[in-house]
Amino acid sequence: MTLPRAPLQQILTKYPPKESSLIMVLQDVQDAYRHLPLELLVEVAKALEVPKAKVIAVATFYKAFSLEPKGEVEIRVCRGTACHVRGGLLIMDEFKRLLGIEEGETTSDGKYTLEAVNCVGTCAMAPVVVVNDTYYGSMTVNKLNRILRATKSSKTADAAREETE
Amino acid sequence: MHLTSPEALKRLKSQLVRQRKENKSVITVCAGTGCVACGCAAVSAAFREALKENHLEEKVEIKTTGCHGFCERGPLVVMRPEGIFYQRVKPADAKQIVEKTIKQGKVIEKLLYRDPQTKQLLTYEKDIPFYNKQERLIFGMNGHMDPTSIQDYITLGGYQALGRVLVSVHPDEVIEEVKKSGLRGRGGGGFSTGRKWASCRQAEGEPKYIICNADEGDPGAFMDRSLLEGNPHAVVEGMIIGAYAIGSHDGYVYVRNEYPLAVKNLNIALAAAREYGLLGADILGSGFSFDITVSRGGGAFVCGESTALMASLEGKIGEPRAKYIHTVECGLWEKPSTLNNVETWANVPTIIEKGADWYRKIGTENSKGTKVFALTGKVNNTGLVEVPMGIPLREIIFDIGGGILDGRAFKAVQTGGPSGGCLPESALNLPVDFDTLTEAGSMMGSGGLIVMDDRTCMVDVAKYFIHFLLEESCGKCVPCREGLRQLHEMLEEISRGEGGVGTLDGIERLCSVMEQGSLCALGRSAPNPVMSTLRYFRDEYLAHLEAHRCPAGVCKALINYSVIEENCTGCVVCKRACPAEAITGEKNQVHKINSEICTRCGICLAVCKFDAILVE
Amino acid sequence: MQLTIDKRSVVARKGEYLLEVAQRNGIEIPALCHHPAVEPWGGCRLCMVEITHPDWKGWTGLVTACLYPVQDGLIVSTDTKKVHQVRAGVLDLLLARCPGSSLIQNLARQYGIEETSFTPRKAPDLCILCGLCIRICEKIGASAISSIGRGVEKLVSVPYETVATAACVGCLSCANICPTGAIAFSESEHCRTIWSRNFELVRCEECKAVIGTPEQLEHFARRSGLDRSYFTKCDSCRNREAAARFVRVTF
Ligand SMILES: Cc1cc2nc3c(=O)[nH]c(=O)nc-3n(C[C@H](O)[C@H](O)[C@H](O)COP(=O)(O)O)c2cc1C
Ligand code: SF4
Ligand code: FES
Ligand code: FES
């Protein structure tokens, strides 16, 4: 399968073709393609005149990047300190159990990706879970079930929240 | 609008202030990430709708502001000018607020805040203990302005310090003023900001760079996020003043990847500042030029470290390098560079505006000004608090924070993030400043304060931080990379009750090698969470090792779940919830947990409404 | 400028690092991630020494000699108790990482360690992550290998064969610089294998000794600006030829 090149071309025109643009370009590629496909990394390397090996080093060093495609629903469970002491671990364990995957994995149908993040900056509402771009605070096991149910019927963020309150 | 002189800026301000005076009541809705998470967008929309219905759009203004700090109670709504404080506001409440409070001046009781200690209902923001012990030098503006409006910032006096500096203060004098103010870096190290600027100004080499560290990697701290989201212009103004003082024309802000709203608001602020002639070429007609580029971090804690951050800005992997030659001489692209934290930059306009002498009056002998803390964990009021340096920890936790959640016993407070430590009850009277915290074996760090109660296990906390650092170590140097691997292994053993007392000596030896041998401060301070818990909670380690017990009931290998028969009502909630199907019992009969099957996941404890689950 | 290393007075030039100066004066400091062919890096932390200065009011510091710039009047001690402790700790950790490396075993023994006091790594290889191979590969202009990942998971590799092996010229610089022999390669009559890739071999026109792979010679020609035909003989044959020419002219 070849990937559409237009988004990449557009990203590349946004930044000056030099090494210091690398991380920003990869951020945009990650957003546009939901991962960093190897074939595109080769093109990024060529365009920015950075050795391919260096591109790979950067792509694997930073957590924002993933070489594997991410699921349609990206669940990020906060594992920051505030969330940890308020029971974040339990939330993570329950997601793992319900989705049948480990941290960092994607379900085989490509629907869910489960990830741990170190603090999303809403510690006052610990424990916190971010589903795609929606934040859920004061998480409980019950709320978690409702969130999963809402994502199955792919409701909008606000509707899902109404339901979980 | 393009302002071409400081006078034009002053005129604009007076004009805006005049307009505001004749203005109307304002409904301020907090729209920081915390309140967004509670659904404040829907609340604002509901207000807009309600005002329209009552034909009040012209008379009442809705202002969506940055974080007010009391995120726990979000969505927050403050009615100004009265200052009536409503909390946990739902979209459905908007109509009532408009009809009752705005039209009839009546207060809606069910939305007021109840002081958990006195059980009193409090109407006004200024009466709430969470706020009234604070000194909101840096953070105060947040609740009064729309962060996406440069006019709001200018109305509140913004950019006036910059205007004055550009026409009438020599760069050396700016640096003298900052030096004299005693401002120390808020990013953790506490280095004198004025001295840093002076070295960079004197350093040879062009161009010089100004960088704002907004990587905020410390899990449990979010003041930099809230500042950038809620008052980005203060940071921008601070950076422009710094650039002028140092002689730099290029600035960077390195923002943590997980902070999309901060990036958005910052970009809006930069565009507005350019449009108003406050950023870019020939700022306010002074001939001085400076611009700022925003860079999103890639998601690596180590990139908060100065040299790693600079490597990352250059497009490389974030590996630190030796700093025997300082970054003020040889930093970004090997040029002189000044890196300061978000909060440090945000202090600058206030210092210039009000003067170093005024600023010096706040704080302690060696730590001046205020510090914003992120108060979280097992405490009643969580959120951001800004207090003068030197205030005792006890006041922050018990007066502002309202004490420990569920009335449990205080055990420790973690300060300084992964490089800091856990302080016990006996340290609660210590004044909070850079040096006192370091002496006590912890650190000021970026200002995370995580409160822990008797159900928090100190071995688990130490293990948690070491695991965090293990994942975040860049892997360049041996003591940090291999040391963390081993340290984590040893703590795992302790939490399983394995190993002997000798393990503790081994840990201490290893920690000393990491402290002295690691390349950067990540590795050098990595032992702190372990050493501080060993120093203050050695007994808890010994309980794991000798009695094979986890007193806090956390370490899975050493605990058992059982049902407290007197409390169990046989409601079957836990039985249904238990994923391992380890709970048996008929409805209305006392339940039983089979500890052979039980995985110690804790779900029964979380769902039981009758305190009938015992962990020991 | 003048400084003192282990009570000996030595001379140094501005811009030099302590390790170079010590080595030049025959003072031994162990170092695993340092090589004169590449820039100093400071990763292994073995070259720690203790420094002080008459102006420092008794303050002393532990620094890595490979990266510490010389300074007039500096007093350096390469074998104090503190230095010994840190080096021993580092070697103990490295031995847990690479229990099979004879180099590490020998160094550790010099610091009194026969066996690691830590938990040895499961499935250990010989890589100590000193970064020399990556730096030399970059230096010769190929940049074919890189670190992958970070922290404890970090490893060195040719990333994703189809993508980047194209950059490897098979010159063996990495394998030769590796202090522990962690980079495997093999050579037969006509073929060299490294990083799971096979290369043809070019032999000297005269003596038939191996002079490299076609990709490597191409690369060197391009980098040096010399003609490709320069790279048809081995160094010793070329030298012998030059010497012969020299003899003819002078006589
Ligand atoms: C591992 C590590 C992480 C750090 N993270 C941050 C951070 O997230 N934000 C920050 O401002 N400083 C951080 N620092 C401190 C910076 O290196 C630097 O000292 C600071 O940004 C300087 O600014 P200041 O003088 O205004 O504090 C970190 C340091 C280390 C060693
Ligand atoms: S101390 Fe840790 S984070 Fe710092 S350079 Fe060494 S390995 Fe990297
Ligand atoms: S610790 Fe979870 S949001 Fe900060
Ligand atoms: S040789 Fe100096 S740190 Fe490795």
Q: What is the pLDDT of residues C207-249, one digit of tens each?
A: 899 999 999 999 999 998 988 888 888 888 888 888 877 766 5
**Nearest residue on chain A to B576, alpha-carbon basis:** A142
- Region B447-459: what's the mean pLDDT? 95
Ligand 1 contacts CB of residue B302 (under 6 A): yes
CATH topology of domain B21-127: Glutaredoxin (3.40.30)
pLDDT per residue as tens digits for the range B140-175? 899 899 999 999 999 999 999 999 999 999 999 999
Ligand 1 contacts CB of residue B229 (under 6 A): no
B340 strand-pairing partners: B212
All partners of chain C with 3 or more CB pairs under 8 angstroms: A, B
Domain ranges of chain C: 2-79
ipTM of the complex: 0.93
Distance A121 CA to ligand 1 centre (A): 17
pLDDT per residue as tens digits for the range A53-85? 999 999 999 999 999 899 999 999 999 999 998
Taking alpha carbons only, the member of B342, B139, B353, B331 closest to residue B246 is B331
**Nearest residue on chain B to C95, alpha-carbon basis:** B482
- What lies within 8 Å, CB to CB, of C194 at 6+ separation is C168, C170, C172, C174, C175, C183, C184, C185, C186
Q: From the candidates C147, C154, C169, which should be mutated to test the interface with A, based on the most A CB atoms within 10 A?
A: C147
CA B345 to each of CA B138, B187, B375, B384, B513: distance values in angstroms, whole numbers, following the listed order: 10, 10, 22, 18, 35
- Which CATH code for domain B458-546? 1.20.1440.230
> What's the confidence (pLDDT) of residue A2?
77
What is the CATH architecture assignment of B150-360?
Answer: 3-Layer(aba) Sandwich (3.40)
Q: In this complex, do B325 and C69 lie within 8 Å of one another by their Cβ atoms?
A: yes
CA A98 to each of CA A4, A128, A142, B235: distance values in angstroms, whole numbers, following the listed order: 34, 18, 12, 44
Distance B431 CA to ligand 4 centre (A): 41
pLDDT bucket at B118, cuts 50 / 70 / 90: confident
Q: In this structure, how many other beta carbons lie within 10 angstroms of the beta carbon of residue C210? A: 14
- Answer whether A56 touches C (CB < 8 Å): yes
User: Lowest-confidence range among B124-128, B277-281, C18-22?
Assistant: B124-128
CB pairs under 8 A between B and C: 101
A64 strand-pairing partners: none
**Nearest residue on chain C to A50, alpha-carbon basis:** C143
SS3 B121: strand
The amino acid at residue B99 is E
- Looking only at the bridges linking them, the beta strands covering B561-563 and B613-615 are antiparallel
A52 contacts on C by Cβ (under 8 Å): 143, 159, 163-164, 166-167
Q: In this complex, do A121 and B579 lie within 8 Å of one another by their Cβ atoms?
A: no
What does R_g of chain B's alpha carbons equal in angstroms? 26
Taking alpha carbons only, the member of C155, C195, C143 closest to residue C172 is C195
Nearest to A53 among C149, C150, C159 (CB): C159
Distance B479 CA to ligand 2 centre (A): 8
Please list the ranges in chain C whose pLDDT falls under 70. Answer: 160-165, 247-251
Distance C65 CA to ligand 4 centre (A): 7
pLDDT per residue as tens digits for the range B182-221? 999 999 889 999 999 999 999 999 999 999 999 998 998 9
- Region B107-125: what's the mean pLDDT? 91
Domains of chain A plus CATH, in order, are: 6-61 (no CATH), 73-164 (3.40.30.10)
Largest CA distance in chain C: 70
What would the two tokens of residue C57 be? Answer: 């009011």
CB pairs under 8 A between A and C: 43
Q: Are A47 and A24 in contact (CB under 8 A)?
A: no
- Answer whether B472 touches C (CB < 8 Å): yes
Q: In this complex, do B510 and C90 lie within 8 Å of one another by their Cβ atoms?
A: no
Ligand 3 contacts CB of residue A139 (under 6 A): no
The amino acid at residue B496 is R
Report whether CATH 3.90.1150.10 matches the domain C2-79. Answer: no
**Nearest residue on chain C to A66, alpha-carbon basis:** C149
Q: How many residues would you count in chain C?
A: 251
pLDDT bucket at B580, cuts 50 / 70 / 90: confident
What would the two tokens of residue B427 be? Answer: 């340290």
Element (H, E) at A149: helix A141-152
Ligand 1 contacts CB of residue B192 (under 6 A): no
Mention the CATH class of domain B560-615. Answer: alpha beta
Domain ranges of chain B: 21-127, 150-360, 370-453, 458-546, 560-615
Q: Are C202 and C212 in contact (CB under 8 A)?
A: yes
Mention the CATH class of domain B370-453. Answer: alpha beta
Distance C41 CA to ligand 2 centre (A): 12
Q: In this complex, do B477 and C42 lie within 8 Å of one another by their Cβ atoms?
A: yes
C140 contacts on A by Cβ (under 8 Å): none
Question: pTM of whole model > 0.80?
Answer: yes
Q: How far apart are CA B64 and CA B44, in angstroms?
A: 8
B217 contacts on C by Cβ (under 8 Å): none
